[in-house]
């Protein structure tokens, strides 16, 4: 029977490279003990001269080795054994007991290494060389090392292929309440005998009730594999949607002589996902506008290491913002992130590459032959396998609605680009007949020599448009001209400007990251007004949902394009999206803060992001004025925001603003709908910090999980101080270990791991990992001796 064992514990690591490090008897006693997943780059100081450069976020990279000594309880000579690596950045070679057993180039692909017949009961050494030394090789922070989970998988000789179960809804017939499922099972016979096998599938609903059984029998010769198909009908299917992400569990058994030799459990969702040239994206046959964000893979403090807890906090915020889509830019994501997207209801664009054969300049984002150290170096050899592996791995996720074969690929304008696109798209179709394919093109209206070739666009099922607003004479007509010229084309905004900025920055800081809070939302407002009123545009994935490391300028560590910062704190623009995307909750958010000591009498622009019909603004109880959206076709005013008609488009603003002479006190806003006061919000001039408040996003974790603790300062009256920036020291004791702190300030270059960090714009995040069952005590202290502490419970595993 199949066993899948997490292989993350008790590794040794060394940032050095010697040939004999693969050998069993190599002396590694001075190496550092680490647990996986592990990213060595995020643990080391940044420096302007690092070869990873601006793209890679000035991180230390290099070549490192991992070793793990282990014994097996028993080794079954009849069984197959494989190590499964979810992701190693990059170019790794794997050795077992001194023998080279596998290698993998691309840093984001998941891969298996077969060790059947090679494991000993005692004294095994698994060694992995990770070569991230050729720099620069990435346009964003990649991290270095075995940064995702590793497993040891054991199966019988007659077994399902690793991603051998593929289940999809082939048709949903809502009128008669049925769905046609197609379940493919790829079975291998790695034994020496021809066999007769039975395959049995049982489908359970979310409450655990058996709702369907289907089976088939096949004969399979020794050494062969077979792909069999069942097409059962599911009565009264409960459909998967972003609002109600209903999941079933498919249990698949492989039987030999009546005995179960393999068993797989697969979560599935029943839904169809199609793009249409007139109606945009159709989920279960209904138009659903994609309100998406692009995300890179890093998680701030932990670098390239992501976990369910870290992504869960971030995705909850995105959900509240009204976001319903995520583009995994520009590489196959962490598997657990897709699980969360299934569970929480996000529409995912799963993307394979940022470059094919032609490499990009890693600092400037255009074609350059001199920086060919990234994914392009493996393209010719591995692209077919990488794409196939991604599709097989991610096939069963209902959240994945489209495959993307690339981002801003230089070949979009080369002579053989369309042939390459055709081939990659063919692989997608061969592996998956249910999903459509796109490629993110940024040069559809660029200068003639780099312009996307028409043949390239025409190959694609869905044409991906990046930055439509950058195209000079086409800049504000967006998709219009192509819609006229190619009426059968399916359109998706694969990437367009979002509303980012620096959290809490109202023009008082200096530095590269400074943006103007008054205009932060403007480009997105234009785009959204256009897309929301045109059904043929499927929607968009804005750049980006969350700030990310890399793609920066010295002295900076990351890029500030997100609605949420690297520490997971929402910026003001988060509320802009919430006001236009989240139609279920009332949003009224006022900015800036009102702590401008010494600036009395100067004009401050006050912005409200709101979906109320109108807002009255008061300063110290004096009415400034009432403003509204009477002339805009927005939710709340017309209740017909997405119905494809523009009413009276006389303003481009999707926010309200006032110029107010500053005086300390209370700025208060009242939000009205249908003449009724529905919400009130105020910002107040606060006193200096008097207390510190710590709140854990989850105060109950399990060993190995990460607790995320949010800190802020309050004044004497209990009001959060938005501009508090004290230096804070953290002390962790008990059942956990300290991981680091971050306030989302991309100009703070100190190590996340340091025990002291400056709060940023009134907030700081601290992460600790549970190491054993018990209590973790986390104490915080400012230099002015303001203290607080929080207890995190680490529960027994499996409780």
- Give the binding site for ligand GAL (CB under 6 A): 139, 365, 407-408, 442, 466, 495, 543, 551
Helices (H), 211-334: 308-321
- Please state the closest distance from residue 577 (CB atom) to ligand GAL, in A: 18
Strand ranges for 432-591 from DSSP E: 436-441, 462-466, 491-497, 537-543, 548-549, 558-559, 588-591
Residue, CB closest to ligand GAL? 408
Parallel/antiparallel/unpaired status of strands 111-114 and 124-132: unpaired
- Please state the closest distance from residue 51 (CB atom) to ligand GAL, in A: 19
Identify the DSSP state of 763.
B
Rounded CA gap, 687 and 684, in Å? 10
- Please state the closest distance from residue 544 (CB atom) to ligand GAL, in A: 8
Beta-bridge mates of residue 283 = 273, 286
- Please state the closest distance from residue 91 (CB atom) to ligand GAL, in A: 22
- Please state the closest distance from residue 440 (CB atom) to ligand GAL, in A: 7
Side-chain-facing half-sphere of 35: CA atoms under 13 Å? 11
Comparing CB distances to ligand GAL, the nearer of 523 and 698 is: 523
Rounded CA gap, 550 and 225, in Å? 44
Please report how the helices 335-344 and 308-321 are oriented relative to each other, as an axis angle in degrees rounded to 10. 40
Q: How many CB atoms lie within 10 A of CB 509?
A: 13
- Please state the closest distance from residue 139 (CB atom) to ligand GAL, in A: 6
**CB neighbours of 101 closer than 8 A, spacing ≥ 6?**
94, 95, 113, 114, 115, 118
Rounded CA gap, 53 and 140, in Å? 10
Comparing CB distances to ligand GAL, the nearer of 86 and 408 is: 408
Instruction: Say if residues 393 and 163 touch (Cβ distance below 8 Å).
Output: yes
Comparing CB distances to ligand GAL, the nearer of 288 and 551 is: 551
Instruction: Say if residues 177 and 236 touch (Cβ distance below 8 Å).
Output: yes
Comparing CB distances to ligand GAL, the nearer of 266 and 407 is: 407
Comparing CB distances to ligand GAL, the nearer of 330 and 589 is: 330
- Please state the closest distance from residue 379 (CB atom) to ligand GAL, in A: 18
- Please state the closest distance from residue 56 (CB atom) to ligand GAL, in A: 13
- Pair of tokens at residue 632: 């805009």
- Please state the closest distance from residue 365 (CB atom) to ligand GAL, in A: 5
Rounded CA gap, 483 and 277, in Å? 9
Rounded CA gap, 311 and 340, in Å? 8
Comparing CB distances to ligand GAL, the nearer of 442 and 714 is: 442
Instruction: Say if residues 432 and 408 touch (Cβ distance below 8 Å).
Output: no
Phi and psi, residue 385, nearest 5°: -65, -40
Comparing CB distances to ligand GAL, the nearer of 241 and 466 is: 466
The backbone region for 19, taken as left when phi is positive above 0, alpha when psi lies in -120 to 50, beta otherwise, is: alpha
Rounded CA gap, 392 and 369, in Å? 32
Comparing CB distances to ligand GAL, the nearer of 442 and 505 is: 442
Identify the DSSP state of 453.
P
- Please state the closest distance from residue 588 (CB atom) to ligand GAL, in A: 30
Angle at 741 between CA 12 and CA 86, to 5 degrees: 40
Comparing CB distances to ligand GAL, the nearer of 173 and 366 is: 366
Rounded CA gap, 618 and 621, in Å? 5
**CB neighbours of 138 closer than 8 A, spacing ≥ 6?**
52, 55, 56, 362, 374, 550
What Cα–Cα distance (Å) separates residue 346 from each residue in 477, 496, 541? 29, 19, 12
Parallel/antiparallel/unpaired status of strands 622-628 and 491-497: unpaired
Comparing CB distances to ligand GAL, the nearer of 365 and 782 is: 365
- Please state the closest distance from residue 48 (CB atom) to ligand GAL, in A: 20
Cα torsion through 254, 259, 260, 261, rounded to 10: -80
Instruction: Say if residues 544 and 296 touch (Cβ distance below 8 Å).
Output: yes
- Please state the closest distance from residue 367 (CB atom) to ligand GAL, in A: 13
Instruction: Say if residues 39 and 107 touch (Cβ distance below 8 Å).
Output: no
- Please state the closest distance from residue 523 (CB atom) to ligand GAL, in A: 12
Beta-bridge mates of residue 764 = 711
Instruction: Say if residues 615 and 669 touch (Cβ distance below 8 Å).
Output: yes
Beta-bridge mates of residue 757 = 728
- Please state the closest distance from residue 497 (CB atom) to ligand GAL, in A: 8
Instruction: Say if residues 683 and 595 touch (Cβ distance below 8 Å).
Output: no
Q: In what helix (H) or strand (E) does residue 338 lie, and over which residues does it extend?
A: helix 335-344
Beta-bridge mates of residue 489 = none
Rounded CA gap, 493 and 290, in Å? 9
Comparing CB distances to ligand GAL, the nearer of 467 and 491 is: 467
- Please state the closest distance from residue 601 (CB atom) to ligand GAL, in A: 38
Task: Give which of 727, 705, 728, 711 is closest to 792, Cα–Cα.
Answer: 705
Comparing CB distances to ligand GAL, the nearer of 395 and 543 is: 543
Comparing CB distances to ligand GAL, the nearer of 44 and 527 is: 527
Comparing CB distances to ligand GAL, the nearer of 543 and 569 is: 543
- Pair of tokens at residue 798: 């499996």
- Please state the closest distance from residue 551 (CB atom) to ligand GAL, in A: 6
Comparing CB distances to ligand GAL, the nearer of 216 and 523 is: 523
Identify the DSSP state of 19.
G
Comparing CB distances to ligand GAL, the nearer of 46 and 294 is: 294
- Please state the closest distance from residue 407 (CB atom) to ligand GAL, in A: 5
| Chain centre distance of CA 33 | 29
Comparing CB distances to ligand GAL, the nearer of 543 and 614 is: 543
Comparing CB distances to ligand GAL, the nearer of 478 and 697 is: 478
Beta-bridge mates of residue 625 = 617
- Please state the closest distance from residue 10 (CB atom) to ligand GAL, in A: 37
């Amino acid at each position: 029977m199949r066993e899948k064992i997490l292989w993350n514990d008790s590794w040794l690591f060394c940032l050095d490279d010697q040939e004999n490090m693969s050998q069993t008897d190599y002396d590694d006693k001075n190496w550092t003990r680490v647990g996986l997943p592990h990213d060595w780059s995020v643990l080391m100081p940044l420096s302007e001269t690092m070869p990873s450069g601006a793209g890679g976020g000035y991180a230390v990279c290099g070549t490192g080795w991992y070793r793990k000594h282990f014994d097996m309880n028993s080794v079954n000579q009849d069984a197959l054994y494989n190590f499964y690596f979810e992701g190693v950045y990059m170019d790794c070679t794997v050795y077992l007991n001194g023998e080279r057993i596998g290698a993998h180039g691309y840093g984001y692909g998941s891969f298996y290494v077969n060790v059947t017949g090679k494991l000993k009961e005692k004294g095994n050494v698994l060694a992995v060389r990770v070569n991230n030394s050729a720099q620069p090789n990435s346009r964003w922070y990649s991290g270095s090392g075995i940064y995702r989970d590793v497993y040891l998988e054991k199966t019988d000789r007659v077994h399902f292929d690793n991603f051998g179960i593929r289940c999809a809804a082939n048709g949903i017939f809502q009128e008669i309440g049925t769905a046609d499922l197609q379940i493919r099972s790829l079975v291998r016979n790695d034994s020496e005998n021809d066999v007769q096998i039975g395959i049995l599938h049982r489908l359970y609903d979310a409450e655990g009730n058996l709702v369907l059984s289907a089976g088939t029998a096949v004969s399979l010769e020794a050494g062969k594999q077979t792909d069999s198909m069942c097409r059962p009908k599911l009565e009264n299917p409960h459909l998967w949607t972003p609002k109600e992400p209903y999941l079933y569990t498919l249990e698949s058994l492989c039987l030999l002589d009546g005995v179960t030799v393999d068993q797989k459990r697969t979560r599935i969702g029943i839904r169809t996902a199609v793009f249409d040239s007139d109606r945009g994206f159709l989920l279960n046959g209904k138009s659903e506008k994609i309100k998406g964000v692009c995300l890179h893979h890093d998680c701030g403090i932990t670098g390239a290491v992501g976990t369910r807890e870290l992504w869960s906090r971030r995705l909850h915020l995105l959900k509240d913002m009204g976001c319903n889509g995520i583009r995994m830019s520009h590489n196959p994501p962490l598997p657990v992130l897709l699980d969360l997207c299934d569970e929480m209801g996000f529409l995912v664009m799963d993307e394979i590459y940022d470059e094919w054969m032609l490499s990009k300049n890693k600092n400037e984002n255009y074609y350059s032959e001199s920086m060919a150290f990234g994914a392009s170096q493996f393209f010719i050899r591995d692209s077919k396998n990488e794409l196939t592996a991604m599709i097989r791995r991610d096939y069963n996720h209902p959240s994945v609605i489209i495959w993307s074969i690339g981002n801003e690929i230089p070949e979009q304008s080369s002579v053989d680009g369309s042939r390459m696109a055709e081939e990659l798209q063919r692989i997608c179709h061969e592996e998956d007949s249910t999903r459509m394919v796109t490629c993110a093109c940024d040069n559809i209206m660029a200068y003639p020599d780099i312009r996307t070739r028409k043949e390239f666009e025409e190959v694609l099922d869905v044409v991906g448009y990046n930055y439509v607003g950058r195209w000079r004479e086409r800049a504000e007509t967006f998709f219009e001209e192509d819609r006229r010229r190619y009426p059968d084309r399916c359109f998706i905004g694969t990437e367009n400007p979002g509303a980012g900025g620096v959290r809490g920055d109202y023009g008082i800081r200096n530095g590269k990251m400074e943006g103007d809070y008054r205009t932060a939302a403007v480009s997105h407002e234009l785009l959204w007004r256009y897309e929301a009123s045109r059904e043929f545009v499927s929607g968009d994935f804005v750049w980006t949902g969350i700030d990310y490391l890399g793609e920066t300028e010295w002295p900076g560590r990351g890029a500030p394009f997100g609605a949420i910062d690297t520490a997971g704190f929402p910026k003001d623009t988060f509320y802009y999206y919430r006001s236009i995307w989240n139609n279920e909750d009332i949003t009224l958010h006022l900015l800036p803060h009102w702590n401008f000591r010494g600036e009395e009498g100067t004009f401050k622009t006050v912005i409200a992001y709101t979906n109320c019909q109108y807002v009255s603004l008061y300063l110290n109880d004096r009415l400034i004025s009432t403003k509204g959206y009477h002339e805009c076709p927005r939710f709340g005013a017309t209740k017909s925001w997405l119905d494809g008609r523009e009413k009276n488009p006389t303003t481009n603003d999707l926010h309200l603003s006032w110029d107010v002479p500053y005086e300390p006190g209370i700025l208060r806003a009242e939000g009205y709908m249908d003449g009724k006061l529905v919400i009130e919000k105020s910002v107040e001039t606060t006193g200096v910090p008097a207390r510190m408040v710590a709140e854990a996003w989850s105060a109950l974790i399990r060993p190995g999980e990460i607790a995320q603790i949010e800190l802020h300062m309050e004044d004497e009256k209990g009001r959060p101080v938005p501009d508090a920036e004290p230096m804070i020291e953290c002390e962790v004791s008990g059942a956990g270990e300290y991981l680091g702190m971050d306030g989302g300030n991309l100009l703070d270059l100190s190590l996340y791991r340091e025990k002291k960090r400056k709060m940023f714009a009134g907030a700081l995040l601290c992460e600790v990992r549970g190491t054993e069952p018990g209590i973790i005590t986390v104490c915080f202290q400012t230099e002015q001796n303001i203290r607080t502490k929080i207890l995190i419970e680490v529960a027994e595993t499996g409780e």
